[in-house]
Amino acid sequence: MTENRVIFDADGDLQLVVGNEHDSAEQHEFIVCSRALSRATPVFKAMLYGPFKEAKSTTTPESEWVVELPEDKPVPLKTLLHIIHAQFEPWAKNWFEAHVNSDEADGRELLLLVAWEFGAEDVFEKLAKRTTLGCKVDLEGQILDSQGIKLHDHWPAGILEGIASIRLQIIDGIFQRLKGCIDKLRSKGNNNCYCDRFRPQGGEPCSTITLGAITKSLPDPELAYLWSEKEDKPYTESINHLLDMINDVIYVRISNQSMCNRIAPLLREVQEMVSTIKSPDTAAHKVHMSRQKEKSGL
């Protein structure tokens, strides 16, 4: 029984014996606080302090208070007892890690807040970067969650502003590099290169082919933002969406032009920019999460 014995409260006044009474290997012994259980649920309150045989009133001062629960399953009850005794680490850590490592975009923003409260600094920075790359904005530049709803309340001061600022820097950097690449392709000095498929027997130079691929691949919002001299409206799509558009130009439209692909160097620059993206948390945020980590035990 010792390997199946869990002490939830060192000063606990109640012993729960849970599981199959005919197989000691499947039985678990839990030392708990009866008052914590009675406060948590009316079922425990009635059982332990009501007119039932398990109640404290049926025991003598000299005897131990033991309640047998042969029909209950030890594992789920153990999780419940951890929660009742405010011991969140054993189950919270597994739940948190499973969700953090998921590729699902939905709920990413809420996990960011969970990481903030748990004091999981590394996870917070990872999720903040993923949010920066994956979030959209509305026409006022406000950050939207995966459901298209503005993120306003309950956020740490400065985090949303930091995400918006970093996102804008990355997007502006991508469009500047894309426009620079296009300007080079449009210059006269770049019209003398031909791939094997486009030799000048009535063919077009590589620069023209590449420009056509860009124009055909980029949707209207990206083209409008690219060519406008002064942006009256913010670019509302995500960084990830913009990267997908550029990847579509390279690998779908002109995949056979390996020797003179003018977009490939652009993609390398953009990928390097994204790989070194900063986290929006500040020194003050790190101090807060360090304190939260001590509380949560994660």
Across residues 190-199, what is the average pLDDT? Answer: 54
- Does 226 lie in the same domain as 202? yes
- Does 193 lie in the same domain as 111? no
- Give residue-wise pLDDT tens across range 120-156: 888 899 888 888 998 888 888 888 876 778 877 678 8
More confident site: 111 or 198? 111
- SS3 label, residue 283: helix
- Does 284 lie in the same domain as 154? yes
Q: Which DSSP string corresponds to 114-166?
A: HHHHHT-HHHHHHHHHHHHHH-EE-TT--EE-TTS-B--TTPPTTHHHHHHHH
- Does 285 lie in the same domain as 154? yes
CA-based R_g, the chain, Å: 30
More confident site: 201 or 4? 4
Q: Residue 9 is part of a domain; what is its CATH number? A: 3.30.710.10
pLDDT at position 280 over 80? yes
**Last residue within a domain, chosen from 64, 85, 106:** 85
- Does 154 lie in the same domain as 168? no
| Pairwise CA distance, residues 234 & 238, whole Å | 11
- Give residue-wise pLDDT tens across range 200-213: 444 556 677 777 77
More confident site: 32 or 229? 32
- Give residue-wise pLDDT tens across range 157-173: 888 899 999 999 999 89
The mean pLDDT value of the chain amounts to: 79
- Does 127 lie in the same domain as 225? no
pLDDT of the residue at 248? 75
Exposed e or buried b for every residue in 6-32, given b needs 16+ CB within 10 A?
bebbeebebbbbbbeeeeeeebbbbbb
- Does 180 lie in the same domain as 119? no
**Last residue within a domain, chosen from 85, 101, 133:** 85
- Does 193 lie in the same domain as 146? no
Q: Nearest 5 degrees, angle CA 50-CA 51-CA 55?
A: 65
Give Cβ neighbours of residue 289 (< 8 Å, ≥ 6 apart).
116, 119, 120, 121, 124, 281
- Does 196 lie in the same domain as 142? no
pLDDT at position 219 over 90? no
More confident site: 112 or 37? 37
- Does 204 lie in the same domain as 70? no
- Does 131 lie in the same domain as 57? no
Count of Cβ atoms closer than 10 Å to residue 145 Cβ? 18
Model pTM greater than 0.85?
no
Domain that holds residue 117: 92-158+280-296
| Pairwise CA distance, residues 249 & 212, whole Å | 10
Give the residue from 266, 276, 260, 265 showing the smallest Cα distance to 242: 266
**Last residue within a domain, chosen from 27, 50, 85:** 85
H or E, element range at 284 = helix 283-296
pLDDT of the residue at 252? 40
- Does 102 lie in the same domain as 119? yes
Give the residue from 37, 26, 25 showing the smallest Cα distance to 67: 37
Our count of domains for the chain comes to 3
**In which band, very low, low, confident or very high, does the pLDDT at 53 lie, cut at 50, 70 and 90?**
confident
